[in-house]
């Protein structure tokens, strides 16, 4: 299962909503037999990286989104959370 574009508005940050949403995605995926959840986030989204790593995601790679990204050394980090068994 791929998690795409999860966001919490600024006025609602800091209340655990992102953690709850992430737990819900992992629970949803497990209940449907997925073996893992994958996602990507940019190198500048440090809070997102901490959130995902705290939820059990591990960084499995990095890539550059474009030639300009390569020139600017702007990377996209790829994460995976193994759920055990399933699809």
Question: Residue ranges per domain, the chain?
Answer: 10-82
**Across 2-19, average pLDDT:** 93
Contact 5, 18 (CB under 8 A): no
**Across 65-81, average pLDDT:** 94
Report the pLDDT value the prediction gives residue 84, as an integer from 0 to 100: 81
Please give the structure tokens belonging to residue 9.
Answer: 């508005």
CATH of domain 10-82: 3.40.630.30
Contact 76, 62 (CB under 8 A): yes
Average pLDDT for the chain: 94
Q: pLDDT grade, residue 86 (50/70/90)?
A: low
Q: pLDDT grade, residue 45 (50/70/90)?
A: very high
Report the pLDDT value the prediction gives residue 1, as an integer from 0 to 100: 97
**Across 68-80, average pLDDT:** 94
């Amino acid at each position: 299962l791929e998690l795409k574009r999860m966001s919490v508005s600024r006025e609602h940050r800091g209340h655990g909503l992102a953690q709850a949403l992430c737990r819900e995605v992992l629970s949803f995926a497990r209940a449907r037999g997925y073996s893992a959840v994958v996602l990507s986030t940019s190198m500048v989204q440090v809070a997102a990286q901490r959130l995902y790593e705290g939820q059990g995601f591990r960084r499995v790679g990095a890539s550059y989104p474009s030639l300009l990204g390569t020139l600017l050394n702007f990377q996209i980090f790829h994460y995976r959370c193994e759920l055990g068994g399933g699809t």
